[in-house]
Amino acid sequence: MASRAPTMVALLLAAVAATCARAQLHDKFYSESCPSVEEVVRKEMVRALSLAPSLAGPLLRMHFHDCFVRGCDGSVLLDSANKTAEKDAQPNQTLRGFGFVERVKAAVEKACPDTVSCADILALIARDAVWLSKGPFWTVPLGRRDGSVSISNETDALPPPTSNFTVLTQLFAAVNLDTKDLVVLSAGHTIGTSHCFSFSDRLYNFTGMENPSDIDPSLEPQYMMRLKSKCASLNDNTTLVEMDPGSFKTFDTDYFKLVSKRRGLFHSDGALLTDPFTRAYVQRHATGAFKDEFFADFAASMIKMGNANPLTGSQGEIRKKCSVVNH
């Protein structure tokens, strides 16, 4: 199945190998202890996405939200009796797929008990979510351990959809991601949906006036009217909107076409047009003529993000269930 991987992806793996080595992550980590782990994860992913292809976006998003808080340690998966874990925080209340991750973990535990971390499983799930949505394939460096701490207040480290370019670059830099990683990983919005409340201020409350004429002038007018027809008010907390209308189940370069036309759904999407470098990247890939180049860039940035402050060696633990620490 990996034969679909673009050649450029394989070339870029070498560029990030040194960084991963410093963190003790490598793609052969389970070659002896659990050689079937990727096969087990992929079998579950194929089954799930064949029934619910729209789950790919949320699963990719979950890996992002894990890595930006405390590094890629599976802390986003932990439950809390008093509702103070990361998953209880406002930015994570729209995450979905937790039950599916537990199902994958159970399948991996059956094949290789007490061996593979939830953090690694989440990284593999995210890769397969992209690949099975017709996106790039990459080899995932493995060897992460699971953390035991999950604090809702620490989700301030997550880039909000309302962010301007300055805030975005600061939050990405905090996990060792640069401006190129920012524009590349933003294109993860090519798959999935969003609730209206994540962007409805652009439609009704851009300057705080809370009326139908208080709109974001940077949003393309026809697209704005289309969004208003779906999101009737600031109080719409249930409606879902495709982030990449027409191909939200397919990982492609259409996201850049939308952003270049001022049809990016979030403030953070539109912010990519306010910086010369990211604007040039958006415009180049909006042509659709450099898909392999973008796929290679996305794979490299995902590997780099997946190397954000992991627990390795004797740090952390290997959880038996992803939602609770071991006792």
**Is 236 among the annotated ligand-binding positions?**
no
**Is 189 among the annotated ligand-binding positions?**
yes
**Is 71 among the annotated ligand-binding positions?**
yes
**Is 188 among the annotated ligand-binding positions?**
no
The residue from 26, 63, 65, 267 that is catalytic is 65
Classify residue 258 as exposed, middle or buried by CB count within 10 Å of its CB (0-12, 13-18, 19+).
buried
Residue 183's nearest CA partner among 170, 168, 194 is: 168
φ, ψ at 145 (rounded to 5°): -115, 160
**CA quadruple 38, 41, 44, 49: dihedral positive or negative?**
negative
**Is 150 among the annotated ligand-binding positions?**
no
pLDDT digits (tens, 9 = 90+) for 307-325: 999 999 999 999 999 999 9
pLDDT digits (tens, 9 = 90+) for 46-86: 999 999 999 999 999 999 999 999 999 999 999 999 999 99
Query: Structural domain boundaries of the chain?
Result: 36-157, 165-305
What local confidence, expressed as pLDDT, does residue 86 receive? 98
Residue 158's nearest CA partner among 87, 251, 231 is: 87
CATH pick for 36-157 out of 1.10.520.10, 3.30.360.30, 3.30.70.20, 1.20.1420.30: 1.10.520.10
Domain 165-305 belongs to what architecture?
Orthogonal Bundle (1.10)
Q: Is 195 a catalytic residue?
A: no
The pTM score is 0.91
**Is 252 among the annotated ligand-binding positions?**
yes
What local confidence, expressed as pLDDT, does residue 23 receive? 52
pLDDT digits (tens, 9 = 90+) for 79-121: 999 999 999 999 999 999 999 999 999 999 999 999 999 999 9
**CA quadruple 81, 195, 201, 158: dihedral positive or negative?**
positive
**Is 108 among the annotated ligand-binding positions?**
no
User: How many whole angstroms separate alpha carbon 58 and alpha carbon 62?
Assistant: 6
